[in-house]
Amino acid sequence: MGLNRALHFGAMDASPPGSCPIDDVIVAPPPGKAGAQHAEREAFLALSETLSRAPQAAPQRLIETAMRLAGGNSAGISLEDVEGEEPVFRWVAVAGELSPYLNGTMPRHFSPCGTVLDRRQALVMRDPARHYEYISQLNVPVRSALLVPFGRQGRLIGTVWVTTSRQDKQFTAEDVRTVEALTTFSTAILDTVEKRHRRGRA
């Protein structure tokens, strides 16, 4: 497996939980500074225009916007999927430093996205490789991760996530609010992503 071109951490590849308990990896984000409403409004308008004029480009625009507004180095959309008989999350859109891993997978039942869906809430994690040790094999360190769940027809099916490789960057409660707002606003985009992915697997 060439990690710079393909990502696949399935159930057999995922190492056991690291020495750090998951509840020590999950952190309460600091408040952060409000006042980005104008940038948010501009982002929503741009997303609406992209969705109407070039819907195929909307998922990428969504994660690039989330990455920019939250101050991350990478962002993506992960969807529940099956590879063989193994439940996984597939990275169906990726931007930034982790973009070489587009269409890669992580295990459904032992991954940050899995924890977010199981707990049914947005989470911020600090150095998640302390618990999910296989994350340390990525091309850049994941110092902080912000993950927001989304659903379809009443069931959670994936996450929009933003990560940073910077040690001095900590995602704040304002960053969480911003990405949650983008995710809620972009329901049509995420619905399109999910439908397209299912058609591709049919």
Is 173 in contact with 146 (CB distance < 8 Å)? Answer: no
Report if residue 15 sits inside a domain.
no
d(CA 163, CA 125): 9
C-alpha 95 chain-centroid distance: 10
Is 187 in contact with 152 (CB distance < 8 Å)? Answer: no
pLDDT in tens, 142-177: 999 999 999 888 889 999 999 999 999 999 999 999
Report if residue 162 sits inside a domain.
yes
Among 150, 145, 140, 143, smallest CA distance to 123 is for 145
d(CA 175, CA 171): 6
Which CATH number belongs to the domain containing residue 165 in this structure?
3.30.450.40
Domain residue limits at 98:
22-30+38-44+56-201
Q: What integer is the mean pLDDT of 119-148? A: 96
pLDDT in tens, 88-101: 999 999 999 999 99
Structure tokens at 192: 């399109």
What is the model's pTM? 0.86
